[in-house]
A and B are shown apart, each in its own frame.
Chain A
Amino acid sequence: MATRESEASVKPHASAGTGSAVNASAVKASAVKARPEKHDSILDKVLQLLSSVKFGVTMLMVLLTMCIIGMLIMQVEVEGFQEYYLRLSPAQRLVYGGLGLFDIYHAWYFTFLLAVTGLNIILASIDRFPTAWQYYSKPKSSASPNFIRAQMFSQENESPKRPKVLAEEVRAAWKRHGFRARIGEDGDRITVFAQKNLWNRFGAYVVHVALITIFIGGFLTNRYGVGGMMEIRPGKASNTFNTFKMTLEGQRTAPAMLPFSIECTDLQQQLIRPEGNLEATNTIDWLSFVKIKDGDRAEDAVVRLNRPYDYRGYRFFQSQFTAVGNAREITIRLEPVSGGEAREVVIPRNGSVDVEGIGRIAFTGFYPDFKFEDGPTTATGEYNNPAAQLEITTPDGQKRGMFAFNPQLADQLYSQASGLAAQKGIDNPLLIQGNKLLLKSFEKVALGHTLSIQYDPGRIPVYIGFTLLVLALCGVFFFSHQRMWAVIEPHENGSKVFYGGNTNRNRPAFEGRFNLLVRAVNGGK
Chain B
Amino acid sequence: MSHAIKQNEPLVPEMELSMPAKIAGLWPVIIPILMTVALIVARIELGPRGFLYEGALTLLALICYMSAAVIIVTNLFVKEQVLSRLGLITVSLGYCFNLSGWMMRWVEAGDAEGWKAGINGAWRYFPLDNLYPLTLGFCAGAAVTTLLIIRKPKYEFLGAMSMPIVTVVLTLAIFLGNEIRTLPPILDSYWRPIHVSIATVAYGVCLVSFGIAFAYLLKDGVRSEAIAIGAGLFGLLIYGTVGRFGVPFHGEYGIGLLYNKTQLPVRAVLPGMGPLMVVTLLAIAASIVLFAIDWVRTDEKARRVGWRIFRLSALLQAVVLALLFSWIAFPQKMASATNLSNFVAQIPEREKPAFGEYLNKQMNADWPADRHQELAQKWLAQEDPAQFSLSMKSNPVEFGGLIGLFVVLFLVSLFAWRRE
Contact = CB atoms under 8 A, between A and B. Distances in A.
Contacts of A304: 119
Interface string A258-288: 0000000000001010000000111111100
A284 B1 contact: no
A284 B118 contact: yes
Contact of A281 (B116, B184, B188, B190): B184
B267 to A, nearest CB: 23
A284 B117 CA distance: 8
Interface string B172-207: 000000000010111011110000000000000000
Interface residues of A, number: 15
Contact of A305 (B6, B113, B117, B188): B188
Contact of A19 (B1, B124, B182, B191): B1
A395 B188 CA distance: 49
Contacts of B118: 284-285
A41 interface: no
A89 interface: no
Residue picked from A19, A272, A283, most chain B C-beta under 10 Å: A272
A357 interface: no
Interface in B188-230: 188-191
Contacts of A305: 119, 185-186, 188
Contacts of A19: 1
A285 B113 contact: no
Nearest to A305: B185
A307 interface: yes
A487 B56 CA distance: 70
Interface in B97-124: 113, 116-119, 124
Most buried by A among B6, B124, B182, B184: B182
Chain B interface main SS type: loop
Contacts of A272: 113, 116, 182
A19 to B, nearest CB: 7
A306 interface: yes
A283 B1 contact: no
B184 A284 contact: no
A272 B118 CA distance: 10
A286 B118 CA distance: 11
A508 B2 CA distance: 11
Interface in B119-160: 119, 124
Nearest to A286: B185
B261 to A, nearest CB: 13
A488 B189 CA distance: 64
Interface string A114-146: 000000000000000000000000000000000
Given A280-B184, A281-B182, A284-B116, A306 B189 contact: yes
A486 to B, nearest CB: 26
B185 A280 contact: yes
Given A19-B1, A272-B182, A283-B185, A306 B119 contact: yes
Most interface-central of B124, B182, B185, B188 (chain A CB within 10 A): B185
Contacts of A286: 185
B188 A306 contact: yes
B62 to A, nearest CB: 31
A281 B183 CA distance: 8
A19 B124 CA distance: 55
A19 B6 CA distance: 15
A281 B182 CA distance: 7
Contacts of B119: 285, 304-307
A284 B185 CA distance: 6
A321 to B, nearest CB: 11
A270 B116 CA distance: 10
Given A304-B119, A306-B190, A285 B185 contact: yes
Interface in A290-321: 304-307
Contacts of A508: 1, 6
Nearest to B191: A306
Given A272-B182, A307-B119, 5 more contacts: A19-B1, A281-B184, A284-B118, A285-B118, A306-B190
Interface of B: 1, 6, 113, 116-119, 124, 182, 184-186, 188-191
Interface of A: 19, 270, 272, 280-286, 304-307, 508
Q: Would you list the 4 A-B pairs with minimal beta carbon distance, nearest first?
A: A306-B189, A283-B185, A284-B118, A508-B1
13 contacts: A272-B113, A280-B184, A281-B184, A282-B182, A284-B118, A284-B124, A284-B188, A285-B118, A285-B188, A305-B119, A306-B186, A306-B188, A307-B119
